[in-house]
Every structure is written in structure tokens, then in C-alpha cells.
Amino acid sequence: MTKRIILALGIMAWSASAWAQPRVSLPNSPWDFGEVLQQEKVSHQFEVVNDGRDTLFISRVKPSCGCTTAPLTRDVVAPGESIWIDVTFNSKKFSGAVNKTVTVFSNDPDSPQAKITFRANVATARSQIVVVQEPTDLGSLVPNKSGQSTIMLANVGDEPYRLRLAAYPSGWLEPGWTEKVVDPGDTLHLPIGTNGVPPLGKFESSITFDIEGRETSRMSLPLTGIGLIE
């Protein structure tokens, strides 16, 4: 009887230990940048969630090639919490369809090498919507102030398009609208402000639009600027 009790307790302890493990979850991977102009850099924030019952320790983050950067700013994630990894892709040496990965090494026993994936279509010119200034320089931005800059987007096609914001640095950027229709030959103005504190000093970021017409496509636009202290 004693041996059975000891065995049962051992099984219970092993089960509890196996259950109380860290677990990596990547809820917004894969990501599609859509159309990206050659020679430009675009970025996206990927969330890394610890869905497990124990602390997640990230040992390193490794992009699949030198065209991609993914600095790790925090390596310990408590159960139920998450961190964000800013992944930047440089399209300089590419043309056409591109698929890349960023490997997250951690103590997750089931997925010790979780992969962030993204794709892009690198082109030499915009096919539907032309950006009047590309990359767009937002100039100097101060915290928590609307309408400090403008992105101008022109429809060069022969049909109306609905533009919808698919992604932007929501931690600090504040767009003046999230969805608009632009008619052939017209130019839309997207006011840009801040809702929070922009990156201090010179920064590079990007914004992604879904383009909906007879066909649906996507494009990503690089953003530059200078974040100031109010």
C-alpha cells in the first residue's frame, strides 16, 4: 500500500510539474506587409505571449537573414503576460515575393524555437495607390498632440479604392481616420498625431494599408521622424 501511495504521489507531482510549464504563443504571426518598395524598410510589432503556467525565459532572437532586425528588449515573461518584438525588414536586395522568419529561442519545452514569419511583395513602383512623399517624413512629433503631420495618398488607377488601416504603431501614433474611399485621380490626406510618447530622437517605423476595390491588396509605407520631449 505504501509503495502505491508513493507512486501515486510521484505521478501527481510529475503531472503538476508538466502542467506548470511556459508556453510561447505568437498571435499575430504570420504577418503580410503587402507591397513594399525596393530599397525601403518596413517594420511590424509581433506579440510574444506566455500562455503557460510558469515563467518564460527568452534566451535570444535570431532573424533568418541580415535583411531583418529584431532586437530583444525584454527576456522574461510572466504567465499570462506578453512582450513585443519590433521586426524590421530591409527590402534593398529583394524583388518579388519574399518570405522570412525570426526564431524565438526560449525554455518552452514544447516549442523551444518558435518562429515568427512574415512575407512581402517587393516592387519597384506602386501599382494602385501612390504616396506623395515616400518614405513619409512626419517631422518633429511631441507627445499627445493630434494633427502634427500628414500622409498624402493618390489613386492612380481607374476605379475607386477603399483604404483601411491594417497596422500602425498604436502605442503612440494617432491617425486621423482608419477607413476612407479615394476616387480615381484624387488625393487623400491622413492627419497624423500622437496618442502617447513617440520614440525619442530619430526613428523609423511604418504603416500598413489594405486596399479594397475589384481586387484586395495591401501595401506598407515607411515612416520617419523625430520624437521630442514636450
Q: pLDDT of the chain along its 230 residues, tens only?
A: 565 555 544 554 444 455 679 999 999 999 999 999 999 999 999 999 999 999 999 999 999 999 999 999 999 999 999 999 999 999 999 999 999 999 999 999 999 999 999 999 999 999 889 999 999 999 999 999 999 999 999 999 899 999 999 999 988 999 999 999 999 999 999 999 999 999 999 999 999 999 998 889 999 999 999 999 87
- 28 and 119 inside one domain: yes
pLDDT at 127: 84
Domain that holds residue 78: 24-123
> How far, CA to CA in Å, does 180 sit from each of 80, 102, 186, 193, 228?
36, 33, 12, 18, 30
Q: Examine residue 76 and state whether it is found in any structural domain, yes or no.
A: yes
Q: Examine residue 78 and state whether it is found in any structural domain, yes or no.
A: yes
Going by C-alpha positions, the residue among 215, 205, 208, 203 that lies closest to residue 190 is 208
pLDDT at 150: 97
138 contact partners, CB below 8 Å, separation of at least 6: 148, 149, 192, 223, 224, 225
The conformation of residue 146, written as its DSSP 8-state character, comes to S
Query: Which grid coordinates are listed for 26?
Result: 505568437
- 84 and 48 inside one domain: yes
Domain boundary among 123, 143, 166: 123
- 96 and 164 inside one domain: no
Question: Within 13 A of 94's CA, how many CA atoms are on the CB side?
Answer: 22
pLDDT at 16: 47
d(CA 28, CA 89) in angstroms, rounded, equals 16
- 203 and 134 inside one domain: yes
- 114 and 41 inside one domain: yes
- 87 and 148 inside one domain: no
Going by C-alpha positions, the residue among 44, 40, 106, 48 that lies closest to residue 67 is 40
The number of distinct structural domains making up the chain is 2
- 115 and 97 inside one domain: yes
Going by C-alpha positions, the residue among 167, 163, 168, 129 that lies closest to residue 37 is 129
Query: Which grid coordinates are listed for 121?
Result: 511583395
Q: Examine residue 1 and state whether it is found in any structural domain, yes or no.
A: no
Domain boundary among 123, 141, 156: 123
Q: Examine residue 71 and state whether it is found in any structural domain, yes or no.
A: yes
CB 109 within 8 A of CB 23: no
- 168 and 187 inside one domain: yes
- 119 and 151 inside one domain: no
d(CA 196, CA 173) in angstroms, rounded, equals 7
- 210 and 142 inside one domain: yes
- 109 and 29 inside one domain: yes
